[in-house]
Amino acid sequence: MAIERTFSIIKPDAVAKHAIGTVLGKLEAGGLRVVAQKMIRMTTEQAQGFYAVHKERPFFGDLVKFMTEGPVVVQVLEGENAIAKNREIMGATNSKEAAAGTIRAEVGTDIERNAVHGSDAPETAATEIAFFFSTADLASTQRLSGTPALAWLSPALDRRTKDRTRLLVRPGSLVSAPAHSPGDARFFAWRGV
């Protein structure tokens, strides 16, 4: 089975019900890991752009209004067959028809206020992830060839406090440490290989 990424939104109705933890608990219990997440309030322009595929459908205006009525949590999930797994955990689009134990059955109300959104295909996932996140926002939770997800770099002496300080960085980060003597600027690049 392949490790893949998918996009997910915890919609305004679920956020208003204080169900973010419930949704995340179900996703994590199902084997999905959050690799990027943020709470935002979508603008009308963002919602129209994100749901542009539905622009000609009669529910488009109501969907945009709903998605902008309150905060949402946008997130990237990672795991084995993440797209299919996320859709299984979410349940049927119409919350009234969703199987017991799914997010939509427990948190959603109907076909419009159905608590969550999830990508339906790898191409859709890639497009939706890129809509809200840059590559730099995405932090893999996988270990790559034994490389630690975080690394300590260059213990440095803080001359004011005489304490040793360390820089904690993610693979791929470019870190600049302050100069300790004239012309002594230190730059470190840590690569996860």
Catalytic residues: 117
- Cβ atoms of 51 and 67 within 8 Å: the answer is yes
Q: Which of 118, 138, 139, 123 is nearest to 9 (CA)?
A: 118
What are the two backbone dihedrals, phi and then psi, of residue 167, each rounded to the nearest 5 degrees?
-105, 125
What's the CA gap between 71 and 140, in Å, rounded? 25
CA-derived radius of gyration, the chain: 21
Residue for token pair 């994590």: 28
Tell me the H-state helices in 30-114. Answer: 44-50, 60-67, 82-90, 103-107
What's the CA gap between 84 and 8, in Å, rounded? 12
What's the CA gap between 149 and 98, in Å, rounded? 37
